[in-house]
Amino acid sequence: MRRPITALAIGVLLVAAVLAGCGGHARQLQPPPLPGGAAFVGQAVCQTCHTDVAAQYHTNYHDGARYGGSTIDGPGHGFFNKPSPAANVITGYGGGCLPCHTTGFGEPSGWRSLDTTPQLVGIGCEECHGPGSNHAAHPSDDNIHRTPSAQACLDCHEPSYKILNGPVLPKNDASYAGTAPASVSSHHPQGVFLLGLQGFDMPDSPGPHSRVENKCVGCHLNPAPSSAHLDWDGPPSYDLDHDQGGLAPDTITCAPCHGGEQGAVNLFHAFEEETKGRLIALGGEDPADPGEPNPAANGGAIGAFAAAHGIVDWSTNPTPDDPNVKKLKAAIYCVKYIMADKSSGAHNPPFAEALLGKAEAMVGEGGDRLARRRTRPHP
């Protein structure tokens, strides 16, 4: 029987019909109700019994311990704590990072402050599984109050906490009028990228992967047996691993529409290499990691465009109304948006194509190569 999960279309699979009412497709997300009497207790309570899961989770990007840096409450109880107190994700940035770097933010018994709820610093177990007091008192599968959901992912994997609960506007020249070229960027944009939002002067473009059942969870936490995997080593695991490898896409989700799992893997890697090549052509190679795109996006065609138009100061914004400065910022934004998404464009291939095309048009990169690519048939 065919799995109910819709296509994980890693190739550029343009789908004619978009999500109904795409302007409001994400505004249906609402905070899940708390079960009666349950309260948040903190990760230290959870790992008292779940030591194996805690050990796995300490290798996960969502857990502060894997960074090897200091955390506010010790390993496993925080997130990466930058050396400068002002830049700390808990105490700095005017509190803007708190919603995504604490547990239970905005929920009854959830995060309140470093003084009153230090046990809820960081992304703990209960952020995905719900408040754990009932389960801790009477361990049972029946009183684990949540299963991981796309909503939990989409609340934070977007440039600003829960922006998907409201209108999400495109970026444009005005968005970066007061911004220096070097600081144009996006932050944790996987949710908006998947839904094709915030493209530079582009309409909403939900991708085929936005139709996968339960979105993020349907691909990244798929428990079904799989024989081929993306981007991690070792034998396949059929459990919901909590380590970093456990978040890699399980290609059984891709199989129905991509000629099987291995076909999906091959297609992803081909698309990844092509996207990487275009990013390098646009922004240059990473000086610290040759062969990879430059995260600063200040080389390649973008750097050449800046030099050709006398734009030498990237750290301030001395001529914000210069049309070439506007083009430069647009190109940088498109490149950094794709890189910040960290899927090489695979979350939304048509959207990635459009962003690359926009950047190439802004700085005159692409030409015949881009035209040839547009006419190449996709699998």
Q: Could you report the per-residue pLDDT of 243-270, keeping only the tens digit for each?
A: 777 787 878 778 888 888 888 889 999 9
Spatial CB neighbours of 94, under 8 Å, sequence gap ≥ 6 = none
Q: Say how many C-beta atoms besides its own lie within 10 A of residue 288's C-beta.
A: 8
Q: What tokens appear for 129 in the block?
A: 């599984």
Q: What is the tally of helices (H) and strands (E) in the chain?
A: 12, 2
- Residue 366 region, left (φ>0) first, then alpha (ψ -120 to 50), else beta? left
Element (H, E) at 190: helix 190-194
pLDDT at 36: 62
- pTM comes to 0.80
pLDDT digits (tens, 9 = 90+) for 311-369: 999 999 999 999 999 999 999 999 999 999 999 999 999 999 999 999 999 999 754 44
Whether the pLDDT of residue 224 is over 80: the answer is no
Dihedral, 364, 369, 372, 373 alpha carbons, nearest 10: -90
Distance CA 243, CA 379 (A): 33
* Residue 234 pLDDT grade (very low, low, confident, very high; cuts 50, 70, 90): very low
Q: What is the mean pLDDT of residues 64-78?
A: 42
Three-state secondary structure call for residue 107: coil
Q: What percent of the chain has pLDDT over 70?
A: 76
Got the DSSP string for 42-103?
-HHHHHHH-HHHHHHHTTSTTSGGGG-S--TTSTTSS----SSGGG-TTTSGGGTTGGGSBS
The model's pLDDT over 239-249, given as tens digits with 9 standing for 90+, comes to 567 877 778 78
67 has a pLDDT exceeding 70: no
pLDDT surpassing 60 at residue 165: yes
